[in-house]
Chains A and B, each alone.
Chain A
Amino acid sequence: MSTRLATGGRLIDRSKPVRFQFNDTWLSGFEGDTLASALLANDKVMVGRSFKYHRPRGIVASGAEEPNALVNLGKGARHEPNQRATTTELFDGLYATSQNHWPSLEFDIGAINAKLARFLPAGFYYKMFIHPRPFWKHIYEPFIRQSAGLGRAPDPETRDPDTYEHFYAYVDVLVVGGGVAGLQAAKAAAKSGARVLLIEQTAHWGGRAAVDGGMVDGQPARDWIAATVKTLEGMENVTLRTRCMGAGVYDHGYVLGYERLNDHQPQADGPRHRLWRIRTKQIITATGAIERPISFAGNDLPGVMLASAVRDYVVNYGVAPGERTVVVTNNDDGYRTAIALKAAGLAVPAVIDPRVHAIDPPLVAQAKAAGIEVLMGRAVAKAKGGRRVTGIVVTAHSGEGAALREIACDCVAMSGGWSPVVHLWSHCGGKLTWDAHHAFFRPDPAKAPTGADGAPFVHVAGSANGYLFLKDVLQDAENAGRVSVGLERDPAPDANSEHAAPIHPVWMMPAKAGDDLRAKAWLDYQNDVKVSDVQLAAREGFESVEHTKRYTTLGMATDQGKLSNINGLAILSDALGEDIPQVGTTTFRPPYTPISMGAIAGQARDEIFQPIRKTPVHAWHEENGAVWEPVGQWRRPYCFPRKGESKHQAVRREVRATRNGVGLLDASTLGKIVVKGSDAGRFLDMLYTNLMSTLPVGKCRYGLMCTENGFLTDDGVVARLDEDTFLCHTTTGGADRIHAHMEEWLQTEWWDWKVYTANLTEQYAQIAVVGPKARVLLERLGGMDVSKEALPFMQWADGTLGSIPARVFRISFSGELSYEVAVPAGRGREFWDLCLHVGADLGITPYGTEALHVMRAEKGFIMIGDETDGTVIPQDLGLNWAISKKKADYIGKRAQERSHMTSADRWQLVGLETLDGSVLPDGAYAVADGRNANGQRNTQGRVTSTYYSPTLDKGIAMGLVHNGPARMGEVVVFLKEDGETKVKARIVNPVFYDPKGEKQDV
């Protein structure tokens, strides 16, 4: 069993017990424990089940690389799946449950999959579920969805109660990793006066050296670590952060750091996570190395762990993962675990080492001197057990697995060597080189990620750079620190130098393991990928490591293959008969370990997720029950329902009141761009499809704007203010886009033209006074002549209305007598209130965007975004009258001459009237004879705008229909949302109301 030792544990405080729950059982740990160490202290070795076969899974590692010990953490709104027990610091009241089993961790129905393993090989899903095709939707997909996934997502209705924030930092040198290499590199860089930020993902400084010991500068490593941290803390130019992971490195020295402020103290105030957005000139990755498992049969049984993790639990937490631990290692470092266990009074029946040494290296000799049996040239044939390892079978490493002897044990500590953590180096293009002597990939200093100046901006220090011994690590870190600030290299503090025998790469154990053993030798614990799966993929022709990864799912789990990748690609290269460097690695992508969605969102949630733009009249709308419609970042009133009124009824009332009396619309969101200069007319002639340079001062003209692709992008009324000045109205959503469009052409194509633009949208409140009684209302306000003679249709005038300075445009988007009145933004609300007051007895009625839409549709006016979708040219919409024939050029003209654009086969704008008077569904398609290549019905048109018209008391619609204008009177069939119900509609003129335009021109 695994248990808490009577003494030891450098990180725990035995005077402070902590109570927590695992699978609804109360357990006890100490302050300083991780959830993993506390579970092991309570003999909870098996903590979950695997993804595919539901095999029992135990804790394997002690840090971020853990593939198995994923738990659901927290309850209710704080529930979070897939949290690693090894990086979860214990706190009082912690609540965790295990994942991926039903009904319970101990008895799981899904474990039947393990019995079926021979029928569930790599690529099973791809092979199995292809045919018959119709089975996919109703049988295969529901089944796969049911069985897929680890953990359980939070209830979609819950809101995360915690807060998160972003933090910006600008430094000279960022050091990622607070082991001895990171500390030394930070110190070396900081001595130059550079601003240094040092971040460490765990809560503790010192990394492995704090566990494995050694002497630095004549003092024990732990004392040196404490002294160095103190030195750095005392330096003004150095910032240190624990619990802060370097998540990703991006171009030009941009780095994301992920700081977990309150995960270990959930009751504390302040944000839970902080995302550091760091710009740094230089980066030093001192990210250490990760130990590799060894692929032998049964290596996934609970109790089989990384050797380094076993000694971490003993030294850091005073926890013995087992009473009898067999160590299996292909390198000297694994012997440290045997020695540490023996020193803690635990049994180590044997160390199994496939190597054979002529002379024992120091650690081997030390183990032997401690009375540990060392079996050289031997291997583990298989580990035995069910929910816990119970023993191993020893075999000759060179053979096929014949049993030589069995050793009973409840823990196996394995070390297949170390792999430098090269993720951050690789994120931004750093390349790797295969180090055959150490059997690992290390950063290739000749192919570093480069910055804006073309020089490397990422440096590596310590074991992340492939240096595994204290003296070398410190020297490498000193060099990296000095190089990062442009200094020459300098000697590092002295440390004890070690001698070790070379590693013997072991990718499969024993070397000639047969099929039965390979099918039980796990590479990826979380995704259940075995040696046999990768070999199968190679036989089936998956030669690229990237393809093999996706086919077998090797390394695609939440741990992203931190333990499995190197072993997997070694197996692949062996199966392909190629060298490891030729096969290469898969791509390392950020983040290093998963980061919370909350941290990514930061404070951008709820009302500040996106700022809301408000017109000067916004408050009135709010006070008067407006139903809001988002238009870009604006909120516009959709309608103003009165008490007991539905939205539909409100819209109907607003339309009728406007058509029969006077309505009031807040049109302030319309874009207002001033274009000024001696070439302004010439410029607008290029921008709009029609002629603007001929527009007389004082007049207005409707204009269309296209992209260079020929497609209609915006429309609006242009007013000429004086000889050199035009005011261009744009759609509400188009103001910023069109302003940018103008600037792009002015700055990059016609930069010698004398034109300036300014977006004045928010400088004016613009209020439309609309309806037959509009003139009466304005005359009551007084101040300027608004008669037909003084201010005819499509003209504008400056003046005052009710003593408010106003620019009044006689333009109409409703077909009624209409004045659009622009007043200074600061006086917009005053003008609005004044109109309501003066027009009360006229029945003045504020209306919203829906009434506006209905009235423009009744008039057959197009709306950008309804009648247009980026594939529609003005000619499709019957707008030829607004396209100049005289102009040699305008933006989009050449594109509109392309053969497809001039084809008679295009869909063109028509009006549509259902035979039964009903309202056509928006976006409905008109069907045509026959079916297309996909078996879908052919179409011949679609609805672009559709409304109930209160004025005509029937459904009206506009649509694009194949060759529509030539088919007036013809009846076409549309389909409703169910794709079956037919609605017949007649093709008619799109102008339903006042086709001669008499009402607007009075």
Chain B
Amino acid sequence: MLTLQCPHCGVHAEETELTGGGEAHLKRFGPGSDDDAFEGYLFLRENPKGVHFERWRHSYGCGKWFHAARCTVTMEVFGTYTAQTSKPPQDLLDRISEKRPGWRWRDLNEPA
């Protein structure tokens, strides 16, 4: 059972306090978008063996959404950060690169 630190209130929250929200950094496609783009937004999800970026809500705590970067194989948590961003913070990406050289996730990967 995971523990994740809520970046808003600082609490190390148990999984039972949290609600998982699936893949992070989805770009919303609304009216006017073509079927493929909308399908990708609504249905198609990453299912990585390794580095993953997820949304979580501290439901039974401060109520805030946040993002977590986690390894789905080892359960290592690289970091949690605000949900109010469209891209993970650079220092987190650097940290992941240090620990998982050559990682890739969607259009994110190890910075050159």
Interface on A for B, CB 8 Å cutoff?
250-254, 279, 428-429, 450-454, 708-709, 740, 743-744, 747-749, 751, 888-889, 893-895, 897-898
Smallest CB gap from A743: residue in B:
B63
What is the CA–CA distance of A744 and B57 in the complex, to the nearest angstrom?
9
Known contacts A251-B2, A254-B1, A708-B42; A453/B76 CB under 8 A: yes
Selected contact of A894 from candidates B21, B29, B77, B83, CB within 8 Å = B29
A-B residue pairs, 7 tightest by C-beta: A454-B76, A751-B84, A254-B1, A747-B65, A450-B74, A452-B77, A889-B30
Task: Among A429, A744, A888, point to the contact of B65 (Cβ < 8 A).
Answer: A744
Q: Which residues of B contact A894 (CB under 8 A)?
A: 29-33, 38
Query: Which A residues are CB-close (under 8 A) to B2?
Result: 251-252, 452
The residues of A that contact B87 with a CB separation of less than 8 Å are none
CB within 8 Å of A: which B1-21 residues? 1-3, 14-15, 21
Assembled-state Cα–Cα distance A451/B75 (Å): 6
CA of A888 to CA of B30, assembled, Å: 9
Measured in the bound complex, the distance between the Cα atoms of B35 and A604 in whole Å is 47
Q: A452-B3, A893-B30 are in contact. List 12 more A-B contacts (CB 8 A).
A: A250-B1, A251-B2, A251-B75, A252-B1, A429-B74, A452-B2, A452-B75, A452-B77, A454-B99, A744-B57, A748-B83, A894-B31
**Chain B proximity of A169: nearest CB distance (Å):** 13
Give Cα A889 to B63, complex, Å. Answer: 27
- Docked-complex contact A747 and B84, CB < 8 angstroms: yes
A-side contacts of B28, CB under 8 Å: 749
| B31 close to A888 (CB less than 8 A) | yes
Of chain A, the residue at the smallest CB distance from B37 is: A894
A899 to chain B, nearest CB (A): 8
A-binding residues in B (CB < 8 A) = 1-3, 14-15, 21, 28-33, 35, 38, 42, 55, 57, 59, 63-65, 71, 73-77, 83-84, 99
Question: A452 and B83 in contact (CB under 8 A), knowing A747-B65, A894-B30, A897-B31?
Answer: no
With beta carbons under 8 angstroms apart, the residue of B1, B29, B33, B38 that contacts A251 is B1
Sample (10) of A-B pairs whose CB atoms are under 8 Å apart: A252-B75, A254-B1, A454-B74, A454-B99, A744-B21, A747-B83, A748-B83, A894-B31, A894-B33, A894-B38
Inter-chain contacts of B30 with A (CB < 8 A) = 889, 893-894
Smallest Cβ-Cβ distance to B70: which chain A residue: A452
Evaluate whether A709 and B42 lie within 8 angstroms (CB atoms) in the complex, with A252-B2, A429-B74 already known: yes
**A428 / chain B contacts, CB cutoff of 8 Å:** 75
Q: For residue B3, which residues in chain A have a CB less than 8 angstroms away from its CB?
A: 252-253, 279, 452
CB-defined contacts of B33 to chain A, threshold 8 Å = 894
User: What chain A residues lie within 8 Å of B73 (beta carbons)?
Assistant: 429
Report whether B55 and A748 are in contact in the complex, using a CB–CB cutoff of 8 Å.
Answer: yes
CB neighbours (8 Å) of A251 from chain B are: 1-2, 15, 75
Q: State A428–B15 Cα separation when bound (angstroms).
A: 16
Q: For B85, give the chain A residue with the smallest CB separation.
A: A751
Note all chain A residues with C-beta closer than 8 A to B35.
898
Shortest distance between the CB of B32 and any CB in chain A (Å): 8
Instruction: Please name all residues of chain B whose beta carbon is closer than 8 Å to the beta carbon of A254 when the two chains form the complex.
Output: 1, 14
- A889 lies within 8 A of B31 (CB): yes
Q: In whole angstroms, what is the CA distance A889 to B59 when docked?
A: 28
A279 to B21, CA, bound (A): 24
Closest to A448 in B: B74
Contacts of A250 in B (CB 8 A): 1
What is the distance, in angstroms, from B108's C-beta to the closest C-beta of chain A?
Answer: 18
Q: How far is the CA of A894 from the CA of B31 in the complex (A)?
A: 4
For the complex, give the distance between the alpha carbons of A565 and B71 in Å. 31
How far in angstroms is the closest Cβ of chain A from B11?
A: 13
State how many angstroms separate the Cβ of B25 from the closest Cβ of chain A: 10
A749-B28, A894-B29, A897-B31 as given contacts; A450 in contact with B42, CB under 8 Å: no
Question: Which A residues touch B83, using CB under 8 A?
Answer: 747-748, 751
Q: How far is the CB of B38 from chain A (nearest CB, A)?
A: 6
A133 to chain B, nearest CB (A): 36
